[in-house]
Amino acid sequence: MKKQTQAYSMTDSSNNTSKASPPTGGESISKNIKNNQPNQVAHNTGSSNREFLAKEPIGKLLAKLALPTVAAQMINMLYNIVDRIYIGHIPQNGSLALTGVGVCMPLIMIISAFAALVGNGGAPRATIYMGKNKKDDAEKILGNCFTMQIILSVILTAVLLIWNRDLLLAFGASKNTINYATSYMNIYAIGTIFVQLTLGMNAFITAQGFAKEGMLSVLIGAIANIILDPIFIFALHMGVKGAALATIISQGCSCIWVLSFLFGKRTTLRIRVKNLGLQASYTLPCLALGSAVFIMQGSESIISVCFNSSLLKYGGDMAVGAMTILTSVMQFAMLPLQGLGQGAQPIISYNYGAKNASRVKDAFKLLLKVSLTYSVLLWLCIMCFPQVFASIFTPDTALIEFTKVALRYYLAVMFLFGVQISCQMTFNALGNAPASIIVAIMRKFVLLIPLIFIMPHIYTSDKTMAVYMAEPIADLIAVTFTAILFFFQFRKALREIE
């Protein structure tokens, strides 16, 4: 239960070009950016800029950057759900253990949301500065974000160790599942710093164009987790504690890889000691931009609590257990779509910074087409074979039958996810924090949370399924709103750089 990802590749350059260039170099930079000549920019300044982001055909470039990030997210999806698959198959009490670990999801989502607050806010801004040929500023953003991740990790670890039982009870744990939930979270909390640094700092690897390296950070953790889970859970008879221990060890391995890369010589933007001191002029804009992703991910935690409490009221532990499976299946849709968006982000951000409107437009159009195709195909599979997806997580026949019906309600409009994610990721790539925040708040807080509690009073014939129906209704309205807002904001952004 863990990650997100990003990545790319550049040669090292120790020369600082953003402020130390001579006046003639600055004049040449301005002229070349206007004429869309990034190679000459890099040559004149002595920097190893990501000129391929401004030159290669969009289709080839998106494939080059997105395929590794999508692969990373697919691996990450296995990484996220493998615990649940193994836990659901624990003899005798697998269903209750699965429900208990599912209740931990809100806390895990909060940890990931704080990583995204810093990483997903800082990485696009760093890429935009790279497009403007300001490497010094991009590295200061990286250093400030690294320090922020460490500070947040210490605070979150303390909170989780002190109050996790109280939080889990408030988040929907019952007397039958609370012991499983606390057993998992007591161990998982210790590895918070690994989660924070892996997720947050990997975003900067992706933002530079190192797609393969970012994928490796996920692959290392995923392989370790898949190997360690059965050993700790079954061979050593540790149950959910074993799953949590496997998780934090795996995250630790990924963290070592990510930091060794960003401190090493292969990266273009490097973590340097001189940039670790927090500066509000760099930190605050990153947090402002990252707040949109933070709201999107953090609100998932609040929504999970709302779903669990409402489902526990109307459907009991089985309905909460089904919700664990539903959110896992949702990841089959969301994580690859986010991978596509992360692959497109450097292209959009870099060319937006370089004022190349046509490439920004072409990159978004291609992202939208590919994302829509994927979301429609996956939606068809889930609607036709819901029992196949449910049976991955549990051998319990009753739970499979219940989840099969719930899946069709919960993911009824999943085919529209491609539009939602493409627009949200592009808002972020353009540095448009207000639009990103508005979209996130609209779907989660204005629509979904109220509908979770309203729908059982409208669809009274089956109140449990009515709770699941809140998701597709909110999604349909949110996608419509997002598309309209994006139409006007995207045109405005293009006019500004044209």
pLDDT tens for residues 194-243?
Answer: 989 998 999 999 888 887 888 888 889 888 988 999 999 998 989 899 99
Structurally, the chain folds into a number of domains equal to 1
Question: Greatest CA separation found in the chain?
Answer: 75
> Can you give the pLDDT at residue 70?
80
Is residue 120, in this structure, part of any structural domain at all?
A: yes
Give the C-alpha separation, 181 to 179, whole Å: 5
Residue type, 477: I
Is residue 76, in this structure, part of any structural domain at all?
A: yes
Judge whether residue 345 has pLDDT over 70: yes
Structure tokens that stand for 106 in this block: 């809100």
* Residue ranges in 46-134 assigned as alpha helix (H): 52-55, 58-88, 94-103, 105-131
For residue 339, how far is the Cα from the chain centroid? 8
pLDDT (tens digit per residue) in 28-83 = 333 333 343 333 333 333 334 457 777 788 888 888 888 877 877 777 677 667 77
Judge whether residue 402 has pLDDT over 80: yes
Is residue 354, in this structure, part of any structural domain at all?
A: yes
> Can you give the pLDDT at residue 79?
67
Judge whether residue 399 has pLDDT over 70: yes
Residue 438 domain boundaries: 23-497
Cβ atoms of 83 and 167 within 8 Å: the answer is no
> Can you give the pLDDT at residue 271?
96
Is residue 153, in this structure, part of any structural domain at all?
A: yes
Half-sphere exposure at residue 323, Cβ-oriented, CA atoms within 13 angstroms? 34
pLDDT category of residue 5 using cuts at 50, 70 and 90 = very low
Total Cβ atoms within 10 A of residue 109: 21
Helix axes 105-131, 192-208, angle to 10 degrees: 30
Is residue 197, in this structure, part of any structural domain at all?
A: yes
pTM comes to 0.66
pLDDT (tens digit per residue) in 410-439 = 999 999 999 999 998 899 889 887 888 888
> Can you give the pLDDT at residue 23?
34
Of 415, 412, 408, 410, whose CA–CA distance to 387 is shortest?
408
pLDDT (tens digit per residue) in 166-190 = 989 888 788 888 999 999 999 999 9
Is residue 4, in this structure, part of any structural domain at all?
A: no
Residues of the chain above pLDDT 70, percent:
89
- Rounded (10°) CA dihedral 364, 368, 370, 371: 120
Work out the average pLDDT over 453-482: 95
- DSSP at 357: H
> Can you give the pLDDT at residue 76?
66
Cβ atoms of 210 and 262 within 8 Å: the answer is no
Judge whether residue 267 has pLDDT over 70: yes
pLDDT (tens digit per residue) in 294-304 = 877 777 778 88
Per-chain mean pLDDT for the chain: 84
Of 164, 169, 326, whose CA–CA distance to 244 is shortest?
164
Judge whether residue 4 has pLDDT over 70: no
> Can you give the pLDDT at residue 62?
86
Is residue 395, in this structure, part of any structural domain at all?
A: yes
Radius of gyration (C-alpha) of the chain in whole angstroms:
22
Is residue 16, in this structure, part of any structural domain at all?
A: no
Judge whether residue 27 has pLDDT over 50: no
